Amino acid sequence: MLTCGELLVELLEGFGVDTVFGIPGVHTVELYRGLPNTAIRHVTPRHEQGAGFMADGYARVSGKPGVCFIITGPGMTNITTAMGQAYADSIPMLVISSVNNTEQLGMGGGRLHELPSQRNLVSGVAAFSHTLMRPDELPDVLTRAFAVFNGARPRPVHIEIPIDVITAPADHVRRKLGALPSRPGPCLDAIARAAEMLKGAQRPLVLLGGGCADAGAEAQRLVEALDAPTAYTINAKGVLPKGHPLALGCNQAWVPVRQMVLESDVVLAIGTELGETDYDVVFDGNFRIESQLIRIDIDAEQLNRNYPADIAILSDSRKAMAALADALGATASFNAESAGSKRAAAVREQLDAQWPETWNGQRKVLETLQQTLPDLIVAGDSTQPVYSGNHLFEATRTRSWFNSATGYGTLGYGLPAAVGAKLAAPDRPVIALIGDGGIQFTLPELASAVEAGAPIIVLLWNNSGYGEIKRYMKNRDIPTIGVDIYTPDFQGLARAFGCNAEKAESLEHLAELLKTAAKADRPTVIEVWEHAEFLA
């Protein structure tokens, strides 16, 4: 007899799933029975939040959904923070959990792992949450989940399966998986109107978001056709080739870019929610769009959020940008001496002249990273060199610089996300850039990294405290309570977890350590002391 649990892993493999992150429990063991019949690899974190962050890092690098197997109740409460981060950043994630037996649902009988309503809890951080009542629903519901990942704005999806349904017979279930939807293209009339508005523009400006991560070629063709200075979000870093003459970086929170936005006559925003952590991370409300605004997004609800559009185009970003470039009659005549390039260069110069001095040490570390390991992936946490790197760091391609300083803004993300990233791209160096506060949220995932054979590099930015919050309190004349935290011997801990551990004593030393770590067969923790002399 084939059970629903066995059918599930067979179908997941059919959808191209090759890795599952999870901690088994008595409620989910039957999801594991069929795993050896598939080629799916199972990775065990040390906490379900780690499972979710790993799945997120895996998804951001591979472009495929990260998949988790999670137990009823505490497993699900543990993973909701990771789902919140993925939800905020539009990351595809499939969370499959157990739930109590069908006849016990909603009864409040005090069963093991029971929540009053698990689905209610999770629904707020998922595109949808479904309770599987019969094995027959499985192909249909999985197809629906993958339709969200492939044809709509990606978000986490939750499917809970009652314990008795996991073990129910499933031989009779029709195995046919539905066709995945083609991605929506733009309405041609709207493209024509947008092209007309853009043709009349004297000072167009383009804003690209994470929705453009897989459309770099189309983005480049379009912005060159428009000769428009182009800012992008952190999740779109790398969308234009490094050093592109029209690129303004991720600097919408800084005055020179804000000024340029105000002086533009048409702004074209694509695949971006125009959200706070990219456009107003200084929280002063002074990013404003006062010109005409064309928005392109795959999510209809997003097209007028934050800034109402004059033209709103519902479409996949790649298809819309290709159509718009065609409508503009794009030719390959762009050159770096264009008017748009000169305007962009002037803004870049102003930006370079105004970076805070407090970033100098962080800049040295970021430059060393980039020079030593040019094709690296950086999974960042919410820590100082991540904030500055969001502005200073230029990625060589998309899906290579991401962090939890965007959107939901949780701590503890960087380390497990790097593990997921490394599993998705084993041949590239992967760095977890994380602070001494953030790493203490998910430190045991070092053990998971060793076990999973994921030789990540953890660059630990140590200032013995919640540095950013301390600074914030000081600036507001608030007593700095709760921010000077005891920091343990991280190198000793890292070694105890089976990792290599070092402390950088100079930039040259850091470069040497990075080179060695990139070739190591196990994770390496490299501690960088914020107040070290070589960073002064």
Ligand X SMILES: Cc1ncc(C[n+]2csc(CCOP(=O)(O)OP(=O)(O)O)c2C)c(N)n1
- Which one among 229, 467, 502, 523 touches Mg ion, defined by CB under 5 A? 467
User: Is 436 near Mg ion (CB under 5 A)?
Assistant: yes
| 403 contacts ligand X (rule: CB under 6 A) | no
* 38: contact with ligand X by CB under 6 A: no
Q: How far is the CB of 471 from ligand X (least distance, A)?
A: 8
Q: Does 370 bind Mg ion (CB under 5 A)?
A: no
- In sequence order, which residues have a C-beta less than 8 Å from that of residue 503 and are 6 or more positions away? 491, 526, 527, 528, 529
Contact with ligand X (CB under 6 A) among 21, 232, 393, 466: 466
- Contact segment (CB under 6 A) with ligand X among 114-122, 159-167, 467-475, 491-499 equals 467-475
CA dihedral 173, 177, 178, 184 (to 10 degrees): 150
Least spacing, CB of residue 173 vs ligand X, in Å:
41
Residue 151 touches which member of ligand X, Mg ion, none, C-beta under 5-8 Å by kind: none
Helix axes 255-263, 339-352, angle to 10 degrees: 150
| Residue 409 in the binding site for ligand X (CB under 6 A) | yes
d(CA 369, CA 500): 18
Q: Which of 469, 507, 511, 518 binds ligand X (CB under 6 A)?
A: 469
State both tokens at 410: 């949780």
84 contributes a contact to ligand X by CB under 6 A: no
Choose the binding region for ligand X from 244-252, 322-330, 404-412, 509-517 (rule: CB under 6 A).
404-412
Q: Which stretch binds Mg ion (CB under 5 A): 14-22, 222-230, 360-368, 433-441?
A: 433-441
Binds ligand X (CB under 6 A): choice among 146, 254, 334, 461: 461
463 binds Mg ion (CB under 5 A): yes
Q: Pick the binder of Mg ion from 156, 435, 455, 523 (CB under 5 A).
A: 435
Residues in the interface with ligand X (CB under 6 A) total 18
Nearer to ligand X, 234 or 347 (CB): 234
Rounded distance, CA 489 to CA 146, Å?
44
Residue 463 binds ligand X, judged by CB under 6 A? yes
- Rounded to an integer, what distance in angstroms lies between the CA atom of residue 104 and that of residue 407? 37
Place of tokens 């770096």: 336
Q: Are strands 41-43 and 93-99 parallel, antiparallel or unpaired?
A: unpaired
Q: What is the Cα–Cα distance from 223 to 340, expressed in whole angstroms?
A: 10
- Binding residue for ligand X, selected from 118, 264, 383, 524, defined by CB under 6 A: 383
Report how many residues bind Mg ion under the rule CB under 5 A. 5
With CB under 5 A as the contact rule, which of the stretches 39-47, 346-354, 385-393, 464-472 interacts with Mg ion?
464-472
Residues 424 and 427: their CA atoms lie apart, in Å, by 9
DSSP-derived 3-state class of residue 160:
strand
CA–CA dist 407, 88 (Å, integer): 5
Residues 352-381 that bind ligand X (CB under 6 A): 381
DSSP helix, strand, coil percent of the chain (3-state; round to 5): 45, 15, 40
- Tell me the two tokens of residue 526: 């490299």
Residue 65 binds to ligand X (criterion: CB under 6 A):
no
437 scored as a contact of Mg ion (CB under 5 A): yes
409 binds, among ligand X, Mg ion, none (CB under 5 to 8 A by kind): ligand X
What is the contact mask toward ligand X in residues 437 to 456, using x (rule: CB under 6 A)? xx------------------
Decide whether 411 or 421 has the Cβ nearer to ligand X.
411
d(CA 233, CA 398): 11
Yes or no: say if 67 and 97 are a contact pair by the CB < 8 Å rule: no
Q: Number of C-alpha atoms within 13 angstroms, CB side, residue 516?
A: 13
In order, the DSSP letters of 74-89 are HHHHHHHHHHHHHHHT
Q: Which listed option, ligand X, Mg ion, none, makes contact with residue 469 (CB within 5 to 8 Å by class)?
A: ligand X
Integer Cα distance of 220 and 241 in angstroms: 8
Measured CA to CA, the distance from residue 475 to residue 461 in angstroms comes to 22
Q: How far is CA 294 from CA 7, 236, 289, 350, in A?
A: 46, 18, 11, 27
Q: At 251, which amino acid appears?
A: N
Sorted by sequence, the CB contacts under 8 Å of residue 477 that are 6+ apart come out as none
Instruction: Choose between 305 and 363: whose C-beta lies nearer to Mg ion.
Output: 363
Within 8 A by CB and 6+ apart from 459, the residues are 365, 369, 385, 431, 432, 433, 434, 526, 528
H-helix or E-strand spanning residue 262: helix 255-263
- Which among Mg ion, ligand X, none contacts residue 384 (Cβ within 5 to 8 A by kind)? ligand X
Query: Which residue has its beta carbon closest to Mg ion?
Result: 435
Is residue 436 close enough to count as binding ligand X by CB under 6 A?
Answer: yes
Among 204, 256, 467, 523, binds ligand X (CB under 6 A): 467
Binding string, residues 487-526; x marks residues near ligand X by CB under 6 A: ----------------------------------------
β-bridge partners, 3: 169
Q: List the x/- string, 416-435, binding to ligand X by CB under 6 A.
A: -------------------x
List of residues 6+ apart from 496 with CB closer than 8 A: none
Nearer to ligand X, 182 or 358 (CB): 358
Residue 154 or 380: the one with the smaller Cβ distance to ligand X is 380
Q: Which does 468 bind (CB under 5 to 8 A by kind): ligand X, Mg ion, none?
A: ligand X
Nearest to 134 by CA among 97, 172, 106: 172
The binding track of 252-291 with respect to ligand X, each residue x by CB under 6 A or -, is ----------------------------------------
Give residue number: closest CB to ligand X: 435
| Distance in Å from the first CA to the final CA of the chain | 67
Strand partners, 160: 97, 131
Which parts of this chain interact with ligand X (CB under 6 A)? 381-384, 409-411, 435-438, 461, 463, 465-469
Which parts of this chain interact with Mg ion (CB under 5 A)? 435-437, 463, 467
